[in-house]
Amino acid sequence: MVLRALKVFLFFGTRPEAIKLAPVLQALRSVERIEPVVCVSAQHRELLDQVLQLFSIAPDYDLNLMRPNQDLFQITRSILERIEPVLSSERPDLVIVQGDAHTAFVGALASYYAKIPVAHVEAGLRTHDKYAPFPEEMNRSFIDRVADLHFAPTKNARENLLTEGIAKETVYVTGNTEIDALFLARERVPLVEEPISGKVILVTAHRRESFHGGILRICAALRELAQRRNVTIVYPVHPNPNVRRTVEAELAGRERISLIDPLDYVSFVHLMAHAAIILTDSGGVQEGAAALHIPLLVLRDTTERVEGLQSGGARLVGTDPEKIVAEVNRLLDDKHAYKEMARAKNPYGDGHAATRIVEIIKERFL
């Protein structure tokens, strides 16, 4: 008697989702009785394709829904319309979504409608403010309500889920697959390290809630730092026109500020590892900086990655130019303060989260 393989459907559409699910896909492929099926929404087309190429992922389905200036209504409608026939055709045993992007939210919603079990990688993250980050906070809350398996990256995330009434037998603390991916990328970093002039401050900022004034305030802080400090500010600018237009208008051509296109993941990890300080509003970068022991300033008023704050490796600065400049100056001028942040323990995992996730799936389904 030949047993049917367990069909596991991975659905993602953004660069962060692809990065964090690549190790899970790799681990699934190593199990003989599991058949992984990959479907991408292409919510981020170019940035997604970089990661697909890096990790040798050839999607079985590509919904290709990226359109200029789509709003949340359009994205939601497009994903639902295009994922329904795929789920109906494949009838997977389990759908895996990751994080809090709109692709994950709508993928979980569609799977719920189709009565297909859902596993949520990176479950339980909360700021407890439904508009920060927007719409990610409510996306992840909804996913966790319909998910059948919750892979929480930390104990804090697990406690959030249990407090909300999620059944404890569905919640597992696995670590974060961002760290798995980062370790895989580090193995591919060239051994010859190119010299970088001055102290490098790496910046990433693209959150939707910062479109109306936040990006402008961040740019003001970067201008002041570039004028007053001997630093090299490197800013890979997100292609979203709401970000790119503002950043280029405010910072293009400024001395000591380098605006570059988004890097492939390996190159970005290489740049993170060479940075003296990282400023970001990204969740994945918060985790990566902790693993690389780079002091981090979070360009948001609140964060769901509270473990970085608790460990001392990260500090919230929001988008207030005075606060950003003051905290960067403190780290540049106070060696003790810098070392304290750099020595903080990484709270996000040991690089084996994907293996744990797949072992749990095997126990529950095989």
Catalytic center residues: 100, 122, 136, 206, 208, 238
| Region of residue 193 (phi > 0: left; psi between -120 and 50: alpha; otherwise: beta) | beta
Contact between 151 and 231 under an 8 Å Cβ cutoff? The reply is no
Instruction: Round to whole Å and give the CA distance between 154 and 202.
Output: 26
Closest by CA to 262, choosing from 12, 10, 67, 16, is 16
Long-range pairs for 241-248: beta carbons < 8 A, 24 or more residues apart: 241/68, 241/69, 242/211, 242/215, 243/205, 243/206, 243/211, 243/215, 246/215, 246/216, 246/219, 247/215, 247/219
